[in-house]
Homo-oligomer: A and B are copies of this chain.
Amino acid sequence: MEQLLRVQNFNVSSDGIGAGEHQSLERPFGLDPGAMFTWAGATASWPMRTDPGGSRGLDDYLTRDYARNIGAEIMGRNKFGPHRGPWDDHEWRGWWGDEPPFRTPVFVMTHHARPSFALSDTTFHFVEGDPATVLQQARAAAAGKDVRLGGGVTTIRQFLDADLVDTMHVAVSPVRFGSGLRLWDSPDELLDRFHLDVVPSPSGVTHHLFWRR
């Protein structure tokens, strides 16, 4: 059974920006993401949802795919936290509280060693290596299931450059940031290697669904 590397529910602005440059504890995205994620939070299957309800239309098909057949996640260090350099603060255990939405092993790419730890159903491992090596570790941990590539922008670009991404869902929101960490100038840059369905949603975002040629 093929184990895919999948980007799921990654959000960028209409100018292709996923995050700003001055990330801090208070600003995980380094900028005010504004309404960028509203579409996802409104769905019944949003992984962070705590109350019943929510929409079950097109957007919900995307959020409900977040965990389907996923056995591990890979993320960049900046998705895990705003710290740079050695891990001085081992009390910091991610943005997500005591119940992180991943519920699988998570591999955080970093040049600085740190012991693994578990939070509820999620176990964070801190690993150094090139994308192919980290993917190999994540695949082994996923036990036959797919691996989700969680972001941010820099990490996704690394794996795209290494040609390791199999499918990618990017929601493009109708906001414009002007500057920040850019996933692309245009999604068309990827058409040499990927098929692309461009699907406008009634919520205002445009879902970009890529799969390998």
Contact = CB atoms under 8 A, between A and B. Distances in A.
Interface of A: 2, 44, 52, 55-58, 60-62, 64-65, 68, 167, 195-197, 199, 201-202, 207, 209, 211
A201 B56 CA distance: 18
A107 B149 CA distance: 40
A56 B202 contact: no
Protomer copies: 2
Nearest to A168: B56
Contact of A197 (B44, B197, B202): B202
Contacts of A58: 197, 199, 207, 209
A62 B62 CA distance: 10
B56 A61 contact: no
Contact of A57 (B44, B202, B211): B211
A62 B44 CA distance: 16
Chain B CB within 10 Å, residue with most, of A55, A56, A58, A209 = A56
Given A61-B61, A61-B65, A167 B209 contact: no
- In the A-B complex, the 4 residue pairs with the closest CB atoms: A57-B197, A56-B211, A58-B197, A57-B209
A64 B56 contact: no
A212 to B, nearest CB: 8
